[in-house]
Amino acid sequence: MSLARATGLILAKELRVELRSRELLSTTLVFVLLVLVLFSFTFDPTAAEARRFGPGLLWLALLFAGSLMLQPSFVREQTNDTLSALRMAPIEPFAVLLGKLVANACYLFFVELILLPIFAALYNLAILPVLGRLLLVLLLGTIGLATTGTVFSAITAQARLRELLLPLLLFPIVAPLLIASSEATVGLLSTQPYLDRVWLVFLLVFDVVFLTAAWLFGEYIFEE
Amino acid sequence: MSTTGFSVQFANIEKRFGMRLALRGVSISISPGEFVALVGANGSGKTTLLRIAALLMRPSGGSIKIGGEDSETLPAIRARCGMVSHATLLYDELTAQENLQFFAKLYDLPHAYEICAAALERVGLSTRARDLVRTFSRGMRQRLSLARAMMTGPRLLLLDEPATGLDPEGQAWLGSEAARLHLEGCTILMSTHGRNEVQSAVTRAVRLDAGLVAEDSHEGGAIRDILSRSGPEE
């Protein structure tokens, strides 16, 4: 079976399970909204401060949301040992990882789409003129976060202290991604919006490097 | 439907978890169509050996051949290996039909819908096909788990303490299904740590003790003796 078809099947299963349970989406959405509202009321930023610090707070909230959302990705498969059933199927192991990765990226991007207008309203930022470019930055950042998060979720799923281990492993790795995403977003939300190509290329390279690493080492991630 | 079961050769299998040696050079040669019960106390290495046979775990030493092939031909071998364990290997948030169809498609089975319907019919769950698995009783989940394992036409069926949590009626049903698969030619390797109805059709018993083969018999009386000493009734 081709990688694309196997990935599609896993993705469809993931989306169906999530649509039924709504565990990840509802908890993540509530959490990330709370964080943004709290940040907004705690800092009470001026227009200039909102443009400067808003993007960082947004990406920080997304990082917390991501670690919350990505944790159960593989833990779910342990409840009934369904990961063993997936591993026994005659498909490439990377298909399992890729299917989950795409599903996680979809969930995160969906949360961001809901969050964006609320973020703009809370921080009084004009996002409509730069919406297309902002969505591109969000997409690239989300792919990077979902890739690293899904891989580390798979690695830590069998650990005893997995809730602690995932952020410990994930945060240092995604720090450069977070900086690049925040800086690109700062440029887009400044008084004279611009998209810094350096950060955009950095995000692209980050995504490609980690996706390639996941593809190369995906087989070993599930080994017992 | 008759099939030719896979042979399984464990050659000097070792498995180490950190400092602990779970398997200490296990060598067992299983012929096609045998129904082998793997017994032993908790921690004797039964599940580890089964997971190695399922190609889910790589041994630390030794080699395994399934159907005469080394593990290089993984997808071809995996496509014809089924597993039923005390964990159901099913998604609670999917219906019985959706679970089977998902795995049928992963195994690239043609006419997935018809195959799933037939598998559900065989295990007596046709009327519950559209119900979520989380609404099923333990016995029904185990039936569905067996349906999932059977629908691919396995040449090697691995049963990891499949009777755990089943009532005597459920055990008898599982035993009769395992016997039927054995008659169809499927090789069956089953781990168990207590006497149960599923063992009725066993043709060979192997007892593991602390990661070593302590007893291995094909003879009826000896098999009963090994099974009777395997533990209390489940």
Residue to test with chain A: of B48, B83, B106, most A Cβ within 10 A: B106
**Is the C-alpha dihedral spanning B62, B68, B70, B76 positive or negative?**
negative
Band of residue A22 on the pLDDT scale cut at 50, 70, 90: confident
* Sheet of strand B35-39, all strands in order from the earlier edge strand to the far edge: B81-85, B156-160, B187-192, B35-39, B204-209, B212-217
Q: How many domains does chain A have?
A: 1
* pLDDT tens readout for residues A113-151: 999 999 899 888 888 999 999 999 999 999 999 999 999
Q: Which residue has the higher pLDDT, A56 or A218?
A: A56
User: Chain A residue closest to B81 (CA)?
Assistant: A88
> Do B106 and A20 lie within an 8 Å CB cutoff?
no
* pLDDT tens readout for residues A29-87: 888 888 888 888 887 778 888 888 888 989 998 998 888 888 888 888 888 889 999 99
Band of residue B71 on the pLDDT scale cut at 50, 70, 90: low
Domain that holds residue A35: 3-222
> Do B148 and A88 lie within an 8 Å CB cutoff?
no
Mean pLDDT: which of B1-10, B51-60, B216-225 is highest?
B51-60
Mean pLDDT: which of A7-11, B191-195, B220-224 is highest?
A7-11
Query: Is residue B103 within 8 angstroms of chain A, CB to CB?
Result: yes
| pLDDT(B207) > 80 | yes
Residues of chain B with Cβ-Cβ distance to A82 below 8 Å are 89-91
What stretch of H or E contains B57?
none
Band of residue A207 on the pLDDT scale cut at 50, 70, 90: very high
* CB of A101 closer than 8 Å to CB of A214: yes
Band of residue B201 on the pLDDT scale cut at 50, 70, 90: confident
Direct distance between the N- and C-terminal alpha carbons of chain B, in angstroms, rounded to an integer = 31
Residue B233 has a pLDDT of 54
Residue B197 has a pLDDT of 66
Residue B234 has a pLDDT of 54
- Of A145, A65, A24, A151, the C-alpha closest to A100 is A151
Q: Which residue has the higher pLDDT, B74 or B190?
A: B190
Band of residue A4 on the pLDDT scale cut at 50, 70, 90: very high
Q: Name the residue among A16, A21, A89 with its Cβ closest to that of B107.
A: A89
Q: Which of A23-32, A42-51, A167-176 has the lowest mean pLDDT?
A: A42-51
Output the six-digit token pair for B127: 């009327």
Query: Is residue B92 within 8 angstroms of chain A, CB to CB?
Result: yes
Mean pLDDT over B113-120 rounds to 91
* CB of B148 closer than 8 Å to CB of A82: no
CA atoms within 13 A on the CB side of B17: 9
Mean pLDDT over B89-111 rounds to 93
> Do A90 and B92 lie within an 8 Å CB cutoff?
no
Query: Is residue B107 within 8 angstroms of chain A, CB to CB?
Result: yes
* pLDDT tens readout for residues B19-39: 889 999 999 999 999 999 999
Give the number of other CB atoms < 10 A from CB of residue A220. 10
User: Chain B residue closest to A219 (CA)?
Assistant: B56
* CB of B25 closer than 8 Å to CB of B178: no
* pLDDT tens readout for residues A99-118: 999 999 999 999 999 999 99
CA separation for the pair B23, B27 (Å, rounded)? 10
β-strand B8-17 against B61-66: which pairing, if any?
A: antiparallel
Query: Is residue B78 within 8 angstroms of chain A, CB to CB?
Result: yes
Residues of chain B with Cβ-Cβ distance to A86 below 8 Å are 106
Q: Which of residues 76-95 of A touch B (CB under 8 A)?
A: 79-82, 84-91
